[in-house]
Structure 1
Amino acid sequence: MTEPLNRAPCATDLEDQAIEQWVHLTSGQASDADRHAFARWRGQSADHEAAARLAETMWQALPQTHTAQTFVAPPRRERRPLRWAALAAGLGALALTGLSEPAKVYFADYATAVGERRALTLEDGSQVWLNSGSALSVNYSAARREISLLKGEALFEVSKDAVRPFVVQSLGGSVQAVGTRFDVDRQGEQVRVAVTEGEVRVSSGGAVVPLKAAQRLAYTAGATPSATGVLDLGTASAWQRGKLIFNRQPLAEVFADIERYLPGSLVIAGRLPSTAVSGVFNLDDVPGMLDMLARTQPVRIYRMPWLTVVVVNQTRA
């Protein structure tokens, strides 16, 4: 059984009981008597009520697929870890969502596993650093050097070639280098581009935007790029050095950046406060990073294989 990073040990049994009962109530097998019994149970004390609310929040944050809706908790006599019973449906659903990954990701020329970072040297001498959970394919021809970023983040240091432009394609847009060093980060339906040296041209939605050193922007599929913003060169591409550096970054963005280093999925249960986070974190110690956030932010963090749940503590938010 995994333990939350910051909760009093005395709450463990109540939370386990609440999770087990909530799973049964949402399984389709519960009776009116079961629901009344749970109402009586949660009314015994403030701690019982808090445990019941936590169970509801965690469950509602999980993908509500057919698997989750039809899951039936195992008999009590098996005494298997209760959180495993409660979250088995959610984990199964998350495993199924992994199958929706575009097929081309699985046939990428280069890829990294979660937690892995990799340096590459392409045939023209250009350098590429792949971040955790990333994938790309390379297509060089006599007239063009094309990279398809299929997933995740990559940092490029491009060798000059006046004849063959160097272009990174991702999510329907492109980034063309002009002898430069730049980062392309594909997160969900958004691509973020940041330039540390030289200049690039970002094309998306029929618009072309020049981007110079110490500038950044983002675009979504089919849309024109955002306005350019200032890039903090002191923190840019810190992941290449095995660090994550935050300089008054919103808590929601911090968790979005951390998610790529976690196995499986990250679920936020509740609305995160608009806290600004600053700090330097070691990518080789992700549990320590989560522990620090759990101790300094109004959240509780539960880690399980293939799933990390962040529960917002409303009393502290």
Structure 2
Amino acid sequence: MKKPQKQPLQIQLLIAKALRGKIDPEEKELLDRWYEEKGKSTHIPESQVVQLNTKKALKQTRKKLSPPTKSIPSWVRVAAAISAIAGFVYLLSHSITPPVSKGDMISYQTIENQRGMRKHLLLPDGSKVTMNGESSLKIHRLFSKERTMYLEGEAYFEVAKDSMRPFKVFTEMAITEVLGTSFSIKTQRKSQEKIAVNEGIVKVVAKSTDRAKESKTLTAAQAVELHNSHGFGLVQHIEPTSTFGWVRGELHFENSPIMEVMETLGDWYGLDDIDYSGINPACKVTGTYTKVVLKDILESIKYATEINYELNGKKLKVSQGKCKG
């Protein structure tokens, strides 16, 4: 099993101060900068880290440390304590045996993402998560013995390999389990889910008591949908560039119905209201857009399809124009 990289002493000191809630703004900025440079990803915010049960963690740390003796210099004991505390922040650990009752949810750290936003997380085991808008992720406060979490919405996972500890994502309808790979899960209204794999192997097991024995194994460039009404659909081949483009800030449309495109734009840019009642549903859109403002995308679609639109703040109205499909 790959051991977590040892943190620099200065960073260990800052993490220890953060655990005690005594880190000042300048020190917090330094710690945040170190996380960003190390993982090029936003770590779980310090405001959430300090919500962990630090008293219990310190008590467990003291038990693990050898009793101090006169022959051991005090600075050695301090360094050992700091290292153990830093290890606690880096590897949150505890076994989870789902399903979890509502009373047990206090053991979870909830991270939510607003509509129209993408959020990047660096997990304690080195795995990375990109959350799409209107998504929620519940991560057990202790994470090293069994890597388990609960998802509502859509997220993309880049899982650090660890053959001793499977990585499990629980949703309303399924359990998705991997050892080390990259994949995405999208839940829709608790009645439909889609699991897509970018690399590696993923196993998906239906949670419903009626379908508890149903499962699918997916490999790279494959996806499957799971429905409440009729279980798993057929395994489909996907184009990773378009399927996972949103993770890189890209929108891909390939002969997509314009109503579907407008709904995607509404979610992506956090629009409050979209009116496309006057548009031809047969109209299709093809294009790739990378980190551009909404108006530029609409102008591009207008040029290609000759639709008309009005954008007023968070409200969008689209009319047919000359688009005939």
**Taking structure 1 as the reference length, what is the TM-score of the superposition?**
0.58
Aligned pair count reads: 211
Q: Does residue 1:200 correspond to 2:202, yes or no?
A: yes
User: For 1:175, what is the secondary structure of its paired residue?
Assistant: strand
Q: Could you tell me the percent identity over the aligned residues?
A: 25
Alignment-derived partner of residue 216 in structure 2: 209
Alignment-derived partner of residue 298 in structure 2: 290
User: For 2:233, what is the secondary structure of its paired residue?
Assistant: coil
Residues 133, 282 of structure 1: alpha-carbon distance in 2 compared, 3 angstrom cutoff: farther
User: For 2:231, what is the secondary structure of its paired residue?
Assistant: coil
CA contact (8 A) 1:122 1:128 kept: yes
Task: Give the C-alpha shift of residue 221 in structure 1.
Answer: 3.8
2:264 is aligned with what amino acid?
D
Residues 222, 290 of structure 1: alpha-carbon distance in 2 compared, 3 angstrom cutoff: same
User: For 1:235, what is the secondary structure of its paired residue?
Assistant: helix
Alignment-derived partner of residue 122 in structure 2: 121
CA contact (8 A) 1:261 1:286 kept: no
CA contact (8 A) 1:282 1:289 kept: no
Alignment-derived partner of residue 230 in structure 1: 237
Which segments of 5 or more consecutive residues in structure 2 lack a partner in the other structure? Answer: 1-104
Alignment-derived partner of residue 192 in structure 2: 190
Task: Give the C-alpha shift of residue 200 in structure 1.
Answer: 0.8
Q: Does residue 1:281 correspond to 2:281, yes or no?
A: no
Alignment partners' CA distance in 2, 1:270 and 1:219: 33
Alignment-derived partner of residue 251 in structure 1: 258
Which segments of 5 or more consecutive residues in structure 1 lack a partner in the other structure? Answer: 1-103
1:128 is aligned with what amino acid?
V
User: For 1:261, what is the secondary structure of its paired residue?
Assistant: helix
Task: Give the C-alpha shift of residue 262 in structure 1.
Answer: 2.8
1:234 is aligned with what amino acid?
T
Task: Name whichever of 153-162 and 108-117 sits farther off.
Answer: 108-117
**Taking structure 2 as the reference length, what is the TM-score of the superposition?**
0.56
Residues 163, 111 of structure 1: alpha-carbon distance in 2 compared, 3 angstrom cutoff: same
CA contact (8 A) 2:121 2:129 kept: yes
Paired residues for 1:156-195 under 5 Å: 156-188=157-189, 189-195=191-197
1:193 is aligned with what amino acid?
I
User: For 2:149, what is the secondary structure of its paired residue?
Assistant: strand
Alignment-derived partner of residue 220 in structure 1: 227
Alignment-derived partner of residue 269 in structure 1: 277
Alignment partners' CA distance in 1, 2:231 and 2:217: 13
Task: Name whichever of 281-290 and 193-202 sits farther off.
Answer: 281-290
Task: Name whichever of 180-189 and 192-201 sits farther off.
Answer: 180-189
Relative contact order, higher structure (CA 8 A, sep 6+): 1
Residues 177, 126 of structure 1: alpha-carbon distance in 2 compared, 3 angstrom cutoff: same
Q: Deviations over 1:243-299 (max 9, x none)?
A: 112233333432333221132243431564334422111334122112222333364
Task: Give the C-alpha shift of residue 197 in structure 1.
Answer: 0.1
CA RMSD of superposed structures (Å): 2.9
Task: Give the C-alpha shift of residue 232 in structure 1.
Answer: 0.5
Residues 127, 305 of structure 1: alpha-carbon distance in 2 compared, 3 angstrom cutoff: same
Paired residues for 1:85-164 under 5 Å: 109-139=110-140, 140-141=142-143, 143-151=145-153, 153-164=154-165
Q: Does residue 1:241 correspond to 2:242, yes or no?
A: no
Alignment partners' CA distance in 1, 2:138 and 2:275: 30
Task: Give the C-alpha shift of residue 119 in structure 1.
Answer: 1.6
User: For 1:109, what is the secondary structure of its paired residue?
Assistant: strand
User: For 1:254, what is the secondary structure of its paired residue?
Assistant: helix
